[in-house]
Amino acid sequence: MIMWGIQIFLALAFGAAGTMKLVRSKAQLAANPHMGWVHSIPEDRIKLLGVAEILGAIGLVVPMAIGIAPILTRVAAVCLATLMGGAAATHTMRGESAAVATREDGKELCDSLRHFRPESERPQRGYLWKRQ
C-alpha cells in the first residue's frame, strides 16, 4: 500500500507540473519566481518537458493498475528520475540550491519505485507473450 501511495503522489505531482508547463505560455511561467530557468529554454522544449511529465505520471500508475505490462511502471519511474536529475543539474548551474534539494527528493522517490516493488508485483519473463 505504501508503494501505491508513493506512486499516486508522484503521478499527481508530475501530472500537475506537466499540465502547468503544457497549458501556460513561456511568459506566464517566467512570471513565477521559481521558474527562472524558462528564460534559457525555448518554449517548444518546455512544452516537450510538460508532455514527458504527463506521460510519466500516467506510466507510474496505469500499467500496474490494469495489470498490462506492469514493467512500464518501473520504466516510467526510471525516466522520471532521469528527468529529475536533469532538473537538478539545471538548478545547480543556476545556483538554486533549494530547488536542487526538492528535485533530488523527487528523484529518490522515483528510484524507490524501481527498487522496492515487491517481487510478487513484478512481471515474470514472457509476461506479454504467454500462450493461452
Where do the domains of the chain lie?
2-124
> Diameter of the chain by CA atoms?
56
pLDDT of residue 84: 85
Identify the CA nearest to 115 among candidates 59, 63, 86, 77: 77
pLDDT of residue 104: 57
pLDDT of residue 117: 57
Mean pLDDT, each 10-residue run in order, the chain (132 residues): 83 92 90 83 91 93 84 87 84 72 59 56 46 46
pLDDT of residue 110: 61
> Which residues have CB under 8 Å from 105's CB, separation 6+?
none
Buried b (16+ CB within 10 A) or exposed e, 75-113: bbbebbbebbbebbebbeeeebeebbeebbebbebbbbb
pLDDT of residue 6: 83
Helix, coil or strand: residue 70: coil
pLDDT of residue 54: 95
pLDDT of residue 55: 94
